Amino acid sequence: MQLMVVDIKAQTRGDQGDLPLGWETLDHLIGQIYECALDPSQWNATIEQIRLALCPAEWRTAFLMLERRNPPSAKFIAWTNVGPGVESMYSTVFAYNNPWSQRTWPARNGQLIDTDEILPREELRKTGLYRNFLAAMNVDRTLCLMLDRRDGERLGLLLIGPGDRDLSVLRRGLRVLGPHIQRAVRISHRIASAEAESSAARAAANRSRYALISLDKDFNILSVNDRVAQYEAAGLITTTGGKLAFVDPASQQKLATMGLGPSRDDLAFQALDRAGRERPVLGVLIRPKTIPYIGGAIPGAAMIITIGSGIGEGPVLGIDRLAQWFGLTPTEARVVDALVDGQTPQDYATRNGVSVNAVRFHLKHIFLKTETASQAQLVAKIANMPR
């Protein structure tokens, strides 16, 4: 949906004269709205500032509410002057099951709705919503700004109070601020989604038994997981100046060659640390991407480097390298690694809780991919792989 573009100065003028708000006030409110996009905890204070600037004195309550139709529920995202128990009672008893919600539900995003225009106050006062909920708060009218709709939920800014008040200032003020509130809500949602994805990715990376490093095409480090520090402390790599480098010159040459256009042999190798211990390294090249933003672009990853394989350091490299070399699935690579280690298909089946027929099924694909016809040929071919 395309958001409408608002001329703020034009919107502050109407048939009844200038909106009695200075440009500095509107400018301040708009600035606060966009600050909320970056820090949602500021919405409560910002809604209160909007209420004080625009509402009649008796209109004391405002809130951002996320309402769901099926099953009915409601959640107050931010609020000002909402009494205890109000959210719980509304969500439990009245969410969507009231004439205001039902009649405003089809409204388009960005629409400003005056409930007097969809349900006369005389009719409202006959409803359970008024008698059992609104009357105690001296409320019989709402101005609702529809902000967003997604996944069966609707988000709106609601300002409520007694209906016999002049709301011309509030109406015109919300028409000025509405598009900015709508944009801020969407920006905030996108930021939160990106941060959630990033957090999940970081958590998953830190659970890995490998050190994981993403690099751009010039070997600048874009991200690392927690295990990288142990290999730097062991004298295997350095990250000086934000670039990855191997301490061992031969390993560093492998890394440089990998960036030029690697052969299969360059994608997996053993790197030496200062103590002469071998550590398995596997490189994966990906197509470089850039992410545009105002002022330029952020370079994306061009390669992922994994170091190590946990306790023992050696065996898992064989699995990774077999998969890379022959195009095997991880399961097929594990079967090959077990056979090379001297296990029989029956041994592998017993140790991994699978049937022998399943192992034989994998072997058919393994023979095809490795261009062998028997277990003996397969083991001999693996023994002759470049080291």
Q: How confident is the model at residue 38 (pLDDT cuts 50, 70, 90)?
A: very high
Phi-psi region of 22 (alpha: psi -120 to 50; beta: other; left: phi over 0): beta
Q: How far apart are CA 326 and CA 381, in angstroms?
A: 11
Q: How far apart are CA 140 and CA 47, in angstroms?
A: 20
Q: What is the pLDDT of residue 220?
A: 93
List helix spans (H) across 40-98. 43-54, 86-89
Q: Where in the chain is the domain with CATH 3.30.450.80?
A: 8-195
Q: To which residue do tokens 């050190």 refer?
A: 211
Buried b (16+ CB within 10 A) or exposed e, 134-158: beebebbbbbbbbbbeeeeebbbbb
Helix (H) or strand (E) holding 280: strand 278-285
Q: What is the pLDDT of residue 18?
A: 47
Instruction: Report the range out of 192-196, 255-259, 268-272, 287-291 with the highest average pLDDT.
Output: 192-196
- For the segment 356-383, the average pLDDT, to the nearest whole number, is 88
Helical axes 375-383 vs 356-370, angle rounded to 10° = 50
The answer to whether the bond into 280 is cis (omega within 30° of 0) is no
Which architecture does CATH list for 8-195? 2-Layer Sandwich (3.30)
CATH 1.10.8 fits domain 208-313? no
Q: How confident is the model at residue 318 (pLDDT cuts 50, 70, 90)?
A: low
**C-alpha neighbours within 13 Å on the C-beta side of residue 284:** 12
C-alpha of 260 from chain center: 33
Q: How confident is the model at residue 313 (pLDDT cuts 50, 70, 90)?
A: very low
Q: How far apart are CA 228 and CA 314, in angstroms?
A: 17
Angle at 22 between CA 20 and CA 27, to 5 degrees: 130
DSSP state of 195: H
Q: Where in the chain is the domain with CATH 1.10.10.10?
A: 326-387
Instruction: Examine the pLDDT at 190 and tell me if it is beyond 60.
Output: yes
Angle at 286 between CA 282 and CA 292, to 5 degrees: 135
**C-alpha neighbours within 13 Å on the C-beta side of residue 16:** 8
% of the chain beyond a pLDDT of 70? 88
Q: Where are the beta strands (DSSP E) in 27-161?
A: 61-68, 73-80, 112-114, 141-150, 153-161
Q: What is the pLDDT of residue 272?
A: 87
- For the segment 184-204, the average pLDDT, to the nearest whole number, is 89
Q: Are 307 and 281 in contact (CB under 8 A)?
A: yes
Q: How confident is the model at residue 201 (pLDDT cuts 50, 70, 90)?
A: confident
Average pLDDT of the residues of the chain: 85
Classify residue 215 by burial, with Cβ atoms within 10 Å: 0-12, 13-18, 19+: buried
What is the residue type of 298? I
Phi, psi of 373 (to 5 degrees): -125, -5
Note the CATH number of domain 326-387: 1.10.10.10
In this predicted model, which residue has the larger pLDDT, 323 or 267? 323
- For the segment 113-117, the average pLDDT, to the nearest whole number, is 97
Q: What is the pLDDT of residue 286?
A: 82
pLDDT by residue (tens digit) across 53-76?
Answer: 999 999 999 999 999 999 999 999
- For the segment 112-132, the average pLDDT, to the nearest whole number, is 96
Q: How far apart are CA 360 and CA 161, in angstroms?
A: 74
End-to-end CA distance of the chain: 57
Q: What is the pLDDT of residue 375?
A: 84
Q: How far apart are CA 94 and CA 162, in angstroms?
A: 19
In this predicted model, which residue has the larger pLDDT, 262 or 102? 102
**Which DSSP string do the residues of 14-43 spell out, in sequence order?**
ETTEE-S--HHHHHHHHHHHHHHHH-GGGH
Q: How confident is the model at residue 117 (pLDDT cuts 50, 70, 90)?
A: very high
- For the segment 375-379, the average pLDDT, to the nearest whole number, is 83
C-alpha of 355 from chain center: 40
Question: Both tokens of residue 342?
Answer: 């001297």
